[in-house]
Structure 1
Amino acid sequence: MKKISLYLLLSVSSFIVSCQSKKEAKKPNILFIMSDDHAYQAISAYDDRLIQTPQIDRLANEGIRFTNACVTNSICAPSRATILTGKHTHINGKIDNVMPFDTTQVTFPQIFQQNGYQTAMFGKLHFGNNPKGVDKFMILPDQGNYINPDLITEKGDTTIIGYVTDIITDLTIDWLKEERDQEKPFMMMYLHKAPHRPWWPKADKFEKYSRMTFPEPETLFDNYEGRGTAAKTAEMNILNHMQYGHDSKIRPETLAEMKDVLPVVDSFPNGFYGPYNRANKEQKALYDPIVDSINNVFKENWPKMTDEEKMRWKYQRYIQDYLACIESVDENIGRVLDYLDKSGLAENTIVVYTSDQGFFLGEHGWFDKRFAYNESFKTPLLIRWPEHIKEGTVSEEMVQNLDFAPTFLDAAGIKVPEDMQGESLVPLLEGDTSKWDREDVYYHFYEYPSIHMVKRHYALVSKEYKLIHFYHDVDEWELYDRKKDPMEMKNVYDDPEYAEIVKELHQRLIAMRKKYKDSDELNQKYIDRFYHSEEYKHELENLKNH
């Protein structure tokens, strides 16, 4: 009996160990969620002054929130190329929204596909119409539309009636429910268009938020004193550069009536009717009362407003629509998270939420991004991975979108290609900070001259300091003390107290550029190539028209 009992005990133990081994060896699913231009200031896990985002906050509460996550190049297509390749934009070729992506580059979905993962992509890719390494995709052409969007699929183009944020989510959940191969792990990219300009909310959110008033940023009326040429010449000021029709939802007929009291004419002549005319009769009936109300207030009050009052009015119009778009994103992410919980997929799925870059929400008087300044440079990053990430973790480490691809591959037990320039965040996710020794990150923005006219610049950024070099048609340096001056209002590059720090940071910047294979010669190569291209001629023509 003792022998039999011992045999049974050993057999049961062996079975348990075997089951544990299988569980440990099971590949995690990866759900990568990204919005477009979602500022970290508009996520309540980061800052609750503007909006509550309870669904996105779930990921912070149940996982890790990075407070120093940032991008390598704050503009849409280059950021996405960096995420897909794990390489800086000067390596993958997508330095701006005009230059082509180097299609010989291997993307991380391809590697997942080659390693037995089922892959899918729904939403906004923003460059290329046939993403590599994706088994199933339905993507928006270029920027896409908020209302009744067109979608590119493997089988041809289609149009779906409805609101884009809801539609992308429906497609995502349907794939998880109906098309997923339950014998394979999956890697899905769930990519929102919102809250990208021109911020057309769903009608019910449009009505709700158009009646709300939001706090202004401290630097809304920044005069850029103490900063260089770049900040003073950028064309992204809310009062002077935000479009009446395209952005504030003022009808062209209203503008025509008020032409004698408006300082400029909109440079996007179809800015209002382009998005509005996507709506059908029934949808327009929902939007019209809100649009009419906005236009009536504008007509009645605008002529007698001071410039300060006009700035405040345009800020409220902007932030109302922007936040209304985000509420739809938050609710839809909640739908997906609820499905993961209900289906049992949550326990073995890494869920990532981020944006393709940050965004100015009135800070320094601006909208848009592009700069290495915080609101543009920093991006939200929240990750949930049950049994690996301790709930409610906060990390202040300097991490970038450059790190996403190697992180996903490492978490899945897939070898990271040696030519990827990012680093795996898995040690940080699992709480082992001893394996993370990065002090600085590198940033480089190229798209100038172009819309918003933000000058070319590169930067080295640490937790304490930010050293920026604006170049091409200027040669200016800026240094910000990130601890003492978190709003980046004072350039201390020429301050004698920072002389030794400037010297040290210059050496670190030289080493960083060498590490990532960037150089002035390479910059000039890209500049020459751009200026002699048909794309540049087209871009110049657009600038003249605008």
Structure 2
Amino acid sequence: MKLYSLVFFTFSLFFIDTGNSMPNEVAPKKKQPRNVIFILTDDHRYDYMGFTGKVPWLETPNMDKLAREGAYLSNAFVTTSLCSPSRASILTGMFSHSHTIVDNQAPDPGNLTYFPQYLEKAGYQTSFFGKWHMGDHGDEPQPGFTHWESFPGQGVYYNPTLNINGERISYKDSTYITDLLTDHAIGWLEKRDRKKPFFMYLSHKAVHAGFQPAKRHKGKYKGKRIDLPTTYEQTKTGAYRDLKWPQWVADQRVSWHGVDYMYHENRDIHEMVVDYCETLLGVDESIGTVMDYLKREGLDESTLVIYMGDNGFSWGEHGLIDKRHFYEESVKVPLLVRCPELFQGGIRPEQMVQNIDIGPTVLAEAGVKQPEHMPGTSFIPILTGENNENIRKEVFYEYYWEYDFPMTPTVFGMRTDKYKYMKYHGIWDRNELYDLENDPEEMYNLIADPDKQEIAKSMSAAIYDWLEETGGMQIPLKRTVKYRFGDYKHKNEH
């Protein structure tokens, strides 16, 4: 791969094995290493917070306060809208085709370095609490964390079992996972070594399906309804043909990820949204608990707090629910950042950032040199108003077809402030091009418009350039371990 080859031949500050490489040097620190708390949630879409006004009855006072006292980056994107690939991109700072954890089953290849490893080497005490779920990995402690608490896979909302530094402890009596992880995180902060900087990674299971709120929140929004999106009806009425949408979008309406058969249940979409929003309330309270602790300790001005979702979520747009696709509600995530010592609060930068920027941002604040294999960049200059020549002019996206969820095809995409282009593979269907300035709901596919052919051509070429430059021209296939009924005879014969 070209990017890794560059590391081989330049012999920079890293070992030749770029996957497991560790920096031989730590960049000179111009200031004290900053304490950092990173809070990650699951399936939280970018605009489902009280202050955005998207859902008028949704109350998230602690997220609202975080945005008011810090920054809400309204154009934050993931590189792949799926749990494991996104989490791997956050931890490694690489695209899915580079780290190769391309879906929720693809295993860790064993040659990856997570950015907390660099922090640990630089003298940080580090901790991880919650959902790891990278590929087929279980709950075992991972490198880069001096303290570890996790569970296998998706975990459960009630009565979980945690692997705490190698010892599994089960909890009963309706113990709620969001509360448990928060309590343990605060406990670790209280017992930490005050002489060392800290990095804490609080990774919630919420708000992943099937949604289960804390008992104290159950029923709070009963009977509430959302305004269904403009594109909700198009695949049902056949209007998608006039709008030139791909056929796979219409076909998916009655699938696991379609609004007419959501998760193979006959549930009302409004009821499911209520469950989702009630589950989110526990996360909001978790944020409040963490911020209250920092204030009590006199750390709230100097600590960099980052809140983010691992992917977005559709609630009826284009007749879809869930994620994976490259439509805005799937690929955009909430990104709230607060650090009064660094920047003034109450700002809403519109510059595009991605999940691969988390590692570089944290490392920069720790005074640690960014590894060569991380293509992202710190977004702190966006918040401080400094001149930043690395501000993104586009973001790239990739999603690889999954055996268990075959309704969504492989897609490579590119988004600028003006246009979005989606290029599908392995399916006989049309690509998509949207004018985001004039059509933010992505309703009118312009892929066949005569006056948009040069734009489509140039964006397609840019996607190939990106893939070539980052070693992504070969789809990283993974062994399939599940068989359909008709496959067994074939399997046994060979």
The aligned counterpart of 1:124 is 131
Q: Against the structure 1 CA distance between its residues 146 and 374, is the aligned structure 2 distance closer, same or farther, given a 3 Å change threshold?
A: same
Q: Deviations over 1:393-413 (max 9, x none)?
A: 211112100111011101111
Query: 1:498 Cα deviation (Å)?
Result: 1.2
The aligned counterpart of 2:51 is 45
Q: CA separation in 2, counterparts of 1:506 and 1:201?
A: 43
The aligned counterpart of 1:147 is 158
The aligned counterpart of 1:227 is 245
Which of the residues 279, 295, 310 maps onto 1:325? 279
The aligned counterpart of 1:274 is none
Using structure 2 for the length normalisation, give the TM-score.
0.85
Q: Against the structure 1 CA distance between its residues 452 and 473, is the aligned structure 2 distance closer, same or farther, given a 3 Å change threshold?
A: closer
Which of the residues 161, 166, 178 maps onto 1:165? 178
Q: Against the structure 1 CA distance between its residues 57 and 181, is the aligned structure 2 distance closer, same or farther, given a 3 Å change threshold?
A: same
Matched, 1:29 2:41: no
Query: What is the identity, as a one-letter code, of the residue corresponding to 2:481?
Result: E
Matched, 1:405 2:334: no
Matched, 1:442 2:396: yes
Which of the residues 461, 465, 488 maps onto 2:419? 465
Three-state SS of the structure 2 residue aligned to 1:90 is helix
Query: What is the identity, as a one-letter code, of the residue corresponding to 1:176?
Result: L
Q: CA separation in 1, counterparts of 2:215 and 2:233?
A: 31
Map 1:517-536 → 2, pairs under 5 A: 517-519=471-473, 522-523=474-475, 526-527=476-477, 530=478, 533-536=479-482
Query: What is the identity, as a one-letter code, of the residue corresponding to 1:535?
Result: V
Check the 8 A contact 1:464/1:482 in 2, yes or no.
yes
Which of the residues 183, 187, 197 maps onto 1:174? 187
Matched, 1:92 2:103: no
Q: CA separation in 2, counterparts of 1:539 and 1:484?
A: 48
Matched, 1:183 2:190: no
Q: Against the structure 1 CA distance between its residues 452 and 379, is the aligned structure 2 distance closer, same or farther, given a 3 Å change threshold?
A: farther
Query: 1:433 Cα deviation (Å)?
Result: 4.2
Check the 8 A contact 1:427/1:435 in 2, yes or no.
no
Number of matched pairs: 444
Using structure 1 for the length normalisation, give the TM-score.
0.78
Q: Against the structure 1 CA distance between its residues 85 and 434, is the aligned structure 2 distance closer, same or farther, given a 3 Å change threshold?
A: closer
Three-state SS of the structure 2 residue aligned to 1:487 is coil
Q: Against the structure 1 CA distance between its residues 222 and 158, is the aligned structure 2 distance closer, same or farther, given a 3 Å change threshold?
A: farther
Q: CA separation in 2, counterparts of 1:243 and 1:63?
A: 40
More helix, by proportion = 1
Which of the residues 418, 421, 426 maps onto 2:372? 418
The aligned counterpart of 1:275 is none
Query: 1:473 Cα deviation (Å)?
Result: 3.2
Query: What is the identity, as a one-letter code, of the residue corresponding to 2:352?
Result: M
Q: CA separation in 2, counterparts of 1:220 and 1:181?
A: 52
Query: What is the identity, as a one-letter code, of the residue corresponding to 2:185?
Result: T
Query: 1:536 Cα deviation (Å)?
Result: 4.8
Query: What is the identity, as a one-letter code, of the residue corresponding to 1:62?
Result: E
Q: Structure 2: where are the runs of 5+ without partners?
A: 1-28, 488-494
Query: What is the identity, as a one-letter code, of the residue corresponding to 1:317?
Result: E
Check the 8 A contact 2:351/2:391 in 1, yes or no.
no
Query: 1:229 Cα deviation (Å)?
Result: 2.6
Q: Against the structure 1 CA distance between its residues 48 and 373, is the aligned structure 2 distance closer, same or farther, given a 3 Å change threshold?
A: closer
Query: What is the identity, as a one-letter code, of the residue corresponding to 2:78?
Result: V
Three-state SS of the structure 1 residue aligned to 2:128 is strand
Matched, 1:361 2:374: no
Check the 8 A contact 1:28/1:348 in 2, yes or no.
yes
Matched, 1:67 2:74: yes
Check the 8 A contact 1:469/1:475 in 2, yes or no.
no
Q: CA separation in 2, counterparts of 1:406 and 1:237?
A: 36
Query: 1:48 Cα deviation (Å)?
Result: 4.0
Which of the residues 471, 484, 488 maps onto 2:438? 484
Check the 8 A contact 2:245/2:430 in 1, yes or no.
no
The aligned counterpart of 1:371 is 325
Q: Against the structure 1 CA distance between its residues 403 and 160, is the aligned structure 2 distance closer, same or farther, given a 3 Å change threshold?
A: same
Map 1:490-501 → 2, pairs under 5 A: 490-501=444-455
Q: Deviations over 1:332-361 (max 9, x none)?
A: 211111111111111221000000010012
Q: CA separation in 1, counterparts of 2:484 and 2:112?
A: 26
The aligned counterpart of 2:490 is none
Q: CA separation in 1, counterparts of 2:486 and 2:155?
A: 23
Q: CA separation in 2, counterparts of 1:320 and 1:517?
A: 42
Q: Against the structure 1 CA distance between its residues 107 and 539, is the aligned structure 2 distance closer, same or farther, given a 3 Å change threshold?
A: farther
Identity %: 35
Three-state SS of the structure 2 residue aligned to 1:428 is helix
Q: CA separation in 2, counterparts of 1:508 and 1:244?
A: 40
Q: Against the structure 1 CA distance between its residues 410 and 100, is the aligned structure 2 distance closer, same or farther, given a 3 Å change threshold?
A: same
The aligned counterpart of 1:112 is 119
The aligned counterpart of 1:83 is 90
Q: Deviations over 1:418-437 (max 9, x none)?
A: 11121121221221244234
Q: CA separation in 1, counterparts of 2:368 and 2:485?
A: 41
Q: Against the structure 1 CA distance between its residues 501 and 338, is the aligned structure 2 distance closer, same or farther, given a 3 Å change threshold?
A: same
Check the 8 A contact 2:49/2:55 in 1, yes or no.
no
